[in-house]
Amino acid sequence: MNSPAARGILRHFSPAWYASVMGTGGLANVLFLLGGHSALLKWAATALWVLNTVLFLLLIGPWVARWVYHFDQVLVDLKHPLMSNFFITMPAGCVILGTNFFLIGKTYFSPGFLLGLGFVLWIAGAVLAFAFAVYGMYNLMAAESIGPDPINFAWLMTPVVNIVVPLLGKYLVGGLAGSNPSLAALINLIDIAFYGIGMILFIIMAVFVTNRLILHKMPPAMAAPTFWVLLGPVGVGTIALLGLAGASKTLGLISATDVFGMLSLTFWGFGLWAFALTAVITIKYIKSGGVPFSLSWWAFIFPLAAYTMASLEIYNYTRVPLVLWYAAALAALLAVLWAATFIKTLTGTLNGRLLSPPPAPAPARKPAK
Question: Are 44 and 13 a contacting pair, CB within 8 Å?
Answer: no
Burial 315-344 (b: 16+ CB within 10 A, else e): bebeeeeebbebbeebbeebbebbeebbeb
In Å, how far are 19, 93, 159, 186, 233 from 205, measured between CA atoms?
Answer: 20, 22, 8, 28, 11
pLDDT digits (tens, 9 = 90+) for 277-332: 999 999 999 999 999 999 999 999 999 999 999 999 999 999 999 999 999 999 99
DSSP annotation of 109 reads S
pLDDT digits (tens, 9 = 90+) for 170-224: 999 999 999 999 999 999 999 999 999 999 999 999 998 999 999 899 999 999 9
Is 118 within the bounds of a domain?
yes
The reported pLDDT for the residue numbered 1 is 52
Q: What is the CATH number of the domain that holds 162?
A: 1.50.10.150
Kindly tell me the burial class for residue 85, based on how many C-beta atoms sit within 10 Å of its own C-beta (0-12, 13-18, 19 or more): buried
Is 234 within the bounds of a domain?
yes
Quote the CA–CA distance of 190 and 316 in Å, as a whole number.
Answer: 26
Is 218 within the bounds of a domain?
yes
Is 368 within the bounds of a domain?
no
Is 314 within the bounds of a domain?
yes
pLDDT digits (tens, 9 = 90+) for 233-272: 999 999 999 999 999 999 999 999 999 999 999 999 999 9
Is 20 within the bounds of a domain?
yes
Is 84 within the bounds of a domain?
yes
Total domains present in the chain:
1
Dump the DSSP string for 214-261: HHSPPPPGGGGGGGGGGHHHHHHHHHHHHHHHHHHHHTTS-S--HHHH
Expressed as residue numbers, the domain containing 164 is 8-352
Is 287 within the bounds of a domain?
yes
Written in H, E and C, the secondary structure of 18-55 is HHHHHHHHHHHHHHHHHHCCCHHHHHHHHHHHHHHHHH
Average pLDDT, the chain: 92
